Amino acid sequence: MPEIIGVRFSEHGKTYYFDPAGFAVEKDRLVMVESARGVDCGRCVTPNRPLPEGFDRPLKKVLRLAGEDDLKRLEENHKKEDRAFDICLEKIRRHGLEMKLVAVEYAFDGSKILFYFTADGRVDFRELVKDLASVFHTRIELRQVGVRDEAKMLGGLGVCGREFCCKRFLNDFSPVTIKMAKEQNLSLNPVKISGACGRLMCCLGYEEEAYEALSRITPRPGAAVVTPRGRGVVQEANLLTGRVKVALDDEPEALPETFDRAELRPAAGRGRARAARAEAEEAE
């Protein structure tokens, strides 16, 4: 049966799939494969498993398991990356460019060096590329990334005390909106709902599907409902517990009563309009 393995070329990179070509590749084992950058060394993150049904993309084959010479070259490349990072920082300062260097990657065969950076806008780095090429005598590529990618590359601890999700397991960034925070009844203070990257925390989207489902079966504040004790207007609703506070029409002076959402059913009438009129009369 045809098999497949997943390989990453860097900690913060995507997972690419290859034909193991008969090799039994364990997780975290380094393998040599043919990539878009030529022969490259990657780490296996998904060991041998049957080819999924419907997977019709062509797969390149694993060339070999990484040997001693391959590991030695990989270690040399890592040392070169540290040196290249320091040199590039100095060149950026010399050219006065408004950019922040994030990471450096050497191609396995040394044919190319990738410099990742962040910047608020477009940066004219043509002179910088020429300067770096004169130092390293190889192909130079500067790639601008976003602040979320920067956090993924550098890593760190979130407000929860755990490693960044983007560093640990997220392969792609899904859109996160302020609507998610509102629907989950979270504080809209940017400091509390933003990650280290300055963007809305990715974890806001993890439970969004559950909140949307609960929102569909829970009456919203201002809705007119029928309770076991008569008609009323919803004042407050807790999506997770299903507890709903209702101001009863027959007891306008009393505190709102609490009911389970299963006990309520929609009532004919305009609860929101009624509540708005009451607020207007109180203001007058």
- Which of 145, 169, 192 is the C-terminal boundary of a domain? 145
pLDDT given at position 11: 73
- Look at residue 273 and tell me whether its pLDDT is greater than 60: no
Tokens linked to 75: 């270690």
Examine the pLDDT at 278 and tell me if it is beyond 70: no
Same-domain pairing of 81 and 137 = yes
Q: What is the pTM of this model?
A: 0.74
35-62: pLDDT as tens digits: 877 888 999 999 999 988 888 888 899 9
Distance CA 62, CA 247 (A): 68
Statement to judge: residues 241 and 264 lie in one domain: yes
Domain boundary among 145, 173, 193: 145
Confidence class for position 180, pLDDT limits 50, 70, 90: very high
Burial group, residue 235, by CB count within 10 angstroms (0-12, 13-18, 19+):
middle
Lowest mean pLDDT among 94-98, 167-171, 192-196, 242-246: 167-171
Do 99 and 118 form a contact (C-beta atoms < 8 A)? yes
Those residues with Cβ within 8 angstroms of residue 229's Cβ, 6 or more apart along the chain or in another chain? 248, 250, 257
Give a yes or no: residue 211 inside a domain.
Answer: no
C-alpha span between 76 and 244 (Å, rounded): 63
Which whole number is the average pLDDT over 8-19? 83
pLDDT score, position 97 = 95
Q: Are residues 83 and 115 in the same domain?
A: yes
Share of the chain above pLDDT 70, in %: 94
Q: Which long-range contacts (CB under 8 A, 24 or more apart) does 101-105 make?
A: 102/145, 102/149, 102/150, 102/153, 102/154, 103/12, 103/153, 103/154, 105/10, 105/81
CA proximity to 249, closest of 281, 236, 215, 269: 269
Tell me whether residue 110 is in a domain: yes
Per the domain annotation, does 125 fall within a domain?
yes
Is 210 part of a structural domain of the chain?
A: no
Q: Of 15, 43, 66, which closes a domain?
A: 66
Q: Is residue 130 part of a domain?
A: yes
Give me the number of domains the chain comprises: 4
pLDDT given at position 109: 87
* Judgement on whether residues 235 and 254 belong to the same structural domain of the protein: yes
Burial class of residue 134, CB neighbours in 10 A (0-12, 13-18, 19+)? exposed
Do 189 and 237 reside in the same domain of the chain? no
Whole domain around residue 135: which residue ranges? 72-145
Tell me the per-residue pLDDT of 98-152, one tens digit each, with 9 for 90 and over. 999 999 999 888 889 999 999 998 999 999 999 999 999 999 999 999 999 999 9
Same domain, 83 and 132: yes
Residue 276: pLDDT band (50, 70, 90) is: very low
Q: What amino acid occupies position 205?
A: G
Within-domain flag for 90: yes
Of the candidates 72, 53, 75, 61, which has an alpha carbon nearest to the alpha carbon of residue 31?
61
Domain assignment present for residue 23? The answer is yes
The predicted pLDDT at position 12 comes to 66
For residue 259, the domain's CATH number is 2.30.30
pLDDT (0 to 100) of residue 124: 92
Average pLDDT over residues 14-29: 90
Q: What is the pLDDT of residue 272?
A: 47
**pLDDT, tens only, 217-242:** 999 999 999 999 999 999 999 999 99
Confidence (pLDDT) at 269: 55
213 inside domain: no
> What is d(CA 240, CA 257) in angstroms, rounded to the nearest whole number?
18
Q: Tell me: do 79 and 141 sit in the same domain.
A: yes
> How does the average pLDDT of the chain come out, rounded?
89
Residue 35 CA to residue 105 CA, distance in Å, equals: 15
